[in-house]
Chains A and B, each alone.
Chain A
Amino acid sequence: MSETIWLIPLIPLLSSVTLMLFGSRLKPSQIGMLGVASVGIAALLTLLLAVEFMQNQQVIQLSLWTWMEVAGFAPGISFYFDGLTLVMMSVITGVGFLIHLFSTEFMEKDPSYARYFAYLNMFVAAMLILVMADNLLLLYLGWEGVGVCSYLLVGFWYQHNANGHAARKAFIVTRIGDTAMALGLLLLFTQLGTLDIQTMVGEANQTWQVGDTIPLIACLLLVCGAVGKSAQLPLHTWLPDAMAGPTPVSALIHAATMVTAGVYLIARTHGLFLLAPTAMTVVAVIGITTSLMAAFTALMQTDIKRILAYSTISQIGYMFLALGVGAWSAGIFHLMTHAFFKALLFLGSGAIIHCLHHEHNIFKMGGLRTRMPVTFWSFMIGSAALAALPMTSGFFSKDQILLQAYQLPDIGPALWAAGLLGALLTAIYSFRLVFVVFFGKANTEPDKDTGWRMAVPLSVLCLLAMVGGWFMIPVSEVFPASDGSHPAHWVEYVSISVPIVGVLLAYFIFYSGRLKIDGLANSTLGKSLGQFWFSGWGIDWLYDHLFVKPYYGLANMLKGEPVDAIYGLIVALNQTFNHWLSVAQSGRMRWYLASMVAGLILVITLAANLSGGSL
């Protein structure tokens, strides 16, 4: 098995190429079969690999061939497989397989069925290359690959202009981070002479001391890349707009896998980050700020997918917090559980949207509890896990993060308190969603319930979201062990009880109506604050005025080609002279003659005068 791990990304890639070339000749059933089966086989192979890994705990390094060789720089197409890779691969292929299966029903009526699965398979292949890459250059290939697939899938329904705009935004904003990341790779290569991750980290530990400047700069550049990809402040604005894509795409790319690539990158290069404590603090602060900002925004949204999008941003903020405080395995654990319950929530929202004639506004739903029972239970379990209610998967991972954050000296308790506030908000907005959508009176009638291809992935993900917290992820060999000490008991009790308080608040506000917030919401302050949060803290507006509009202004100015104007002046001057001279060319012989005679007389007179009469 260890010699054949290259098959895992290859199979979805082959399927994608097949669908691109021959998709138009295949029947929809064949397309769905090919698309789902390729990821299914990849998932099975990953499972076999996982079983083998659990037995011998052996790290696999597989070099296929040298990609290129220039002046001692020889990155290979080579794979590295350890516990961290295994966790990522399991999430990608496992959750990916369920989402593919869900898609076969969700996209059934779409005319571009083959194109959809071609992109989705290509995404899985690119994401697998990203996590399996042995060196940072191959990782970057996968990194850009998933970016392209994200662009293609966000703009999948390109007939609508807004979707194309959202796709471009997703691509361009992440590109800002990617450029910084490319600079980071160049810096690391010039300093250490290799991009091979394991060798590089070893070299770095020999070359640099903790707190040196160069690893700090390199780490910050890598963080920029991670921030762009994982939709953290200040590059998070693309993710809510990326919800323009089909909902299973949001589940796979913008919740479970691609957006966590930044978390993976930092976890993979944690050896470097340990040399730069400042960079880690930056990561933690970015994470917690983003988390709170997005949680407040999610509280005000009315579009079901935008709520989930902001919630994703917020949860990835928790992962960044975990990485920043050195709780590596807790961060990766939260990545995995988040993939389960957020994919579940997105697929559940996809089922609602599918059955409710593409309705996105939660206030136009309502009363769906009895009409769509499978979806209702999916949402209940997903929201419980998202809110980190005890015994759900989200509880175990988020609890670990908060407790480890608390133990950090100096800023630890502050981070913990902010994290708790975020957890409270998370519980409120996720159960606001549940109460508004599934309880109360029905506003729109669903015309059908979910079919089995939707129900099965939902059920499996429900199970995973419930029990995922009991999994032991095999990353103890990858990351340095935490000291294992526990903070005081009251800290744990508070951490556990806060989400419950949040759920109760949501219950009293949005279900029983016993807690009236209308007065608060309608006051001037409440209104403007609500509007401010609804707009995502006005960051889109800010970027629009800070970058987009000036850029358009500049482009408009350059459209007139100011440099060409200099040459245009020369042309205009010539044309004027030409005009003047061509007036003399009147075509009248007698005029020519008269001017000739006049000229002649002038010349002779001059010559006679200048020669002093000797002529």
Chain B
Amino acid sequence: MDGLNIPLNHILLVSSLLFAIGMLGLMIRRNIIFILMSLEVMLNAAALAFVAAGAHWGQPDGQVVFMLILTVAAAEVAVGLGLVLQVQKRFKTLDMDHANRMQG
């Protein structure tokens, strides 16, 4: 822990930035692959916040949750890529705006 003492606030700032970038990507990207990647970024932003908090208070819980988030992300990617394949198959495109048939 010596020599590399980064204040918690900074890490949380980076985490928030990552989260905002991911969310922005989610909102403005149309390609479904990029949307998935943006999701990953957001997940990792949250994970970073947990790890930083765990390190700050010297508790293992942060890393435990990080492991959980990693698992969730892996599962999400597995399902997500399956969906991507289906989208490609059906719409012959990866543009999410074309998959808008569930509208009122």
Contacts and interface: CB of A to CB of B under 8 A. Distances in A.
A584 interface: yes
A488 interface: no
A590 interface: yes
A589 B96 CA distance: 7
A583 interface: yes
A582 B97 contact: no
Interface in A386-439: none
Contacts of A594: 27
Interface in B55-104: 96-97, 99-104
16 contacts: A581-B104, A582-B103, A584-B104, A586-B100, A586-B104, A587-B101, A587-B102, A588-B96, A588-B103, A589-B35, A589-B96, A589-B99, A589-B100, A590-B30, A594-B27, A597-B27
A590 B97 contact: yes
Interface residues of B, number: 14
A582 B104 CA distance: 5
B23 A597 contact: yes
Contacts of A582: 103-104
B27 A588 contact: no
A593 interface: yes
Given A593-B26, A597-B27, A588 B104 contact: no
A597 B30 CA distance: 17
Interface of B: 23, 26-28, 30, 35, 96-97, 99-104
Contacts of A585: 102-104
Given A582-B103, A590-B30, 5 more contacts: A581-B104, A588-B96, A589-B100, A597-B23, A597-B27
Interface in A541-598: 581-590, 593-594, 597
B26 A588 contact: no
Contacts of A597: 23, 27
Contacts, number: 35
B88 to A, nearest CB: 16
Nearest to A600: B23
B23 A588 contact: no
Nearest to B96: A589
Contacts of A587: 99-103
Instruction: For the complex of A and B, list the 10 residue pairs with the smallest distance between their C-beta atoms, beginning with the closest.
Output: A582-B104, A587-B103, A587-B100, A585-B104, A587-B102, A588-B100, A589-B96, A586-B103, A594-B27, A585-B103
A541 to B, nearest CB: 60
A583 B101 CA distance: 13
Contact of B104 (A583, A589, A590, A593): A583
Nearest to B20: A597
Interface of A: 581-590, 593-594, 597
Contacts of B23: 597
A587 B102 CA distance: 5
Nearest to B104: A582
Contacts of A581: 104
Contacts of B101: 587
Contacts of B28: 590
Most chain B CB inside 10 Å of its own CB: which residue of A581, A585, A586, A588: A588
Contacts of B97: 588, 590
B66 to A, nearest CB: 24
Nearest to A590: B27
A589 B95 CA distance: 11
B84 to A, nearest CB: 13
A559 B26 CA distance: 57
A428 B94 CA distance: 104
Contacts of B100: 586-589
A596 B104 CA distance: 18
Nearest to A589: B96
A584 B104 CA distance: 8
Contacts of A589: 35, 96, 99-100
Contacts of B103: 582, 585-588
Nearest to B26: A593
Contacts of A586: 100, 103-104
B102 A593 contact: no
A488 B96 CA distance: 117
B99 to A, nearest CB: 8
A583 to B, nearest CB: 7
Contacts of A588: 96-97, 100, 103
A588 B96 CA distance: 8
A587 B104 CA distance: 8
Contacts of A590: 26-28, 30, 96-97
A574 to B, nearest CB: 14
A590 B34 CA distance: 13
B11 to A, nearest CB: 20
Nearest to B103: A587
A581 B103 CA distance: 11
A588 B27 CA distance: 11
A577 B103 CA distance: 16
A589 B27 CA distance: 9
B90 to A, nearest CB: 14
A588 B97 CA distance: 6
Nearest to B28: A590
A584 B102 CA distance: 12
A145 B35 CA distance: 86
A602 to B, nearest CB: 15
A584 to B, nearest CB: 7
B93 to A, nearest CB: 14
A583 B102 CA distance: 12
B39 to A, nearest CB: 11
A95 B90 CA distance: 91
A107 B71 CA distance: 100
A579 to B, nearest CB: 9
A594 B29 CA distance: 12
B77 to A, nearest CB: 18
Contacts of B26: 590, 593
B36 to A, nearest CB: 12
B103 to A, nearest CB: 3
Nearest to A585: B104
Contacts of B102: 585, 587
B72 to A, nearest CB: 19
Nearest to A584: B104
A282 to B, nearest CB: 73
Contacts of B96: 588-590
Nearest to B29: A590
A593 B29 CA distance: 12
A586 B102 CA distance: 7
